[in-house]
Amino acid sequence: MALQRALMNDLIAWKSSPDRKPLLLRGARQVGKTWIATEFGRQEFGSVLRLDFMNDQSASSLFEGSLNPAQLIRKMEVLAGQTVETGRTLIVFDEVQECPRALTALKYFCEDAREQHIIATGSTMGVALHPGTSFPVGKVDMMTLHPLSFTEYLRNAGETKIVDAIETAALDDLEWISPLFSDMATSLLREYMLVGGMPEIVDRYLHDKDFTAARQRQLEILTAYDNDFSKHSDSPNTAERTRRTWQSLPAQLAKENRKFVYNLIRTGARAREYEFSLQWLTDYGIAHRVPCVNAMRKPLRAYEDAHAFKIYALDVGLMGAMAGIDASTVLSDDSLFTEFKGTLTEQYVCQQLIAQGFQPYYWANPDGRAEVDFVISSNGMILPIEVKAERNLRAKSLHVAVAKYDIPMSVRTSLAEYHREDWLTNVPLWAIGCVNRIRQ
């Protein structure tokens, strides 16, 4: 796999930071954490010393005694048969959740061996599984690796001009640029919504254009997740509840009102029975919780409704595989965007917002007559985002929200081309990566 990942630039900046701490690189299984850590080491260092806690029991045994960094480095050198050169060797603790004491050791590397470059890969799930372990609060830098965004997909597909238009062109210029790219970008977006952003699948698909192979790999990843439900759960009952919660996502999002409903997991299901399963899925990184806010005011977190939220999967391709979307019926036209009641389109937008570093919320009017799909805080303002799966540009809910909260700018994303009005910017779905640059 030789994909270009945007996070590589963040890793390079981390390397040269004078305040650098050991880095905890989080992300779901199969998003490419191991690959990007080792590729970063290959490009930026003389050597990489990698400890694989998932597959090598001897790696965990190094941390059974003292956590003194100097002693640990000597043990690592013996185990790996290589020398750690300060500034020239990147140390990688891979799948660190499998060795809780290695996670704790990051604290001592921060305090006593800051000169060493260390990346630990894993998920926050491991911390919850080992409550007696000391998490190095304040002693690590943290980054999260997500599936490829659509702009990353475009760049790896060689469509750099489209990426440049999305990421660097003046926003006003998109009004005349977008018609030039619209057909090609929309076609590529159909591909992306079916293939998704899981790195191995993207790499293979861009090489052989075999969607059948891509779907097979998606199903294999879903099976691996399913196996992990049992592997990491404390009881068969917990594993089954987590499995049911995860498998309910397509049905949850197919509703007109996509608020998460426990009764769709199992008739008579109650929140207290499944709250742990939901937390497990989000900690594991394969589900994203989008809370409802009862007011579009800053800070959005202060207006969360604790009982209303939506759950999206980490990847649009995996969601399509879970729902059994058939590529042969949707690749040739725009029906993909309306398939599944527009759920894939919302899933796609949510995924792109998260990839840009936003925490998305949604807003629902208490009287139930208006709902805005996503709300983010961007560039010092509250920005509501309405998702339209078709070219229908009616935005009744946006009108309600803008008037109610005196919001100066909002976004409608659809298959239509870029257009900016006084209070509304229409952004093509393929260009949603520019939303972080929209201002009043």
For residue range 301-325, what is the model confidence (pLDDT) as tens digits? 999 998 999 999 999 999 999 999 8
**125, 232 Cβ separation under 8 angstroms:** yes
Domains and CATH numbers, the chain: 7-144 (3.40.50.300), 150-437 (no CATH)
Whole-number percent of the chain with pLDDT over 90:
76
- 26 sits in the region (left: phi over 0; alpha: psi -120 to 50; else beta) called beta
**Percent of the residues in the chain that have a pLDDT greater than 70, as a whole number:** 95
Mean pLDDT of the region 199-221? 96
Determine the Cα–Cα distance for residues 76 and 109; give it in Å rounded to an integer. 14
Read off the pLDDT band of 128 (50, 70, 90).
Answer: very low
Q: Tell me the CB-side half-sphere exposure of residue 287, using CA atoms within 13 A.
A: 26
Are the C-beta atoms of 239 and 230 separated by less than 8 Å? yes
Q: Identify the pLDDT of residue 250.
A: 93
For the stretch 365-381, pLDDT in tens is: 887 778 999 999 999 99
CA dihedral 83, 30, 351, 342 (to 10 degrees): 170
Judge residue 237's burial from the number of C-beta atoms within 10 Å of its C-beta, 0-12 exposed, 13-18 middle, 19 or more buried.
exposed
If one counts every other C-beta atom within 10 angstroms of the C-beta of residue 274, the result is 20
Give the rounded distance of the alpha carbon of 6 from its chain centre. Answer: 13
127: pLDDT confidence band, cut at 50, 70 and 90?
Answer: very low
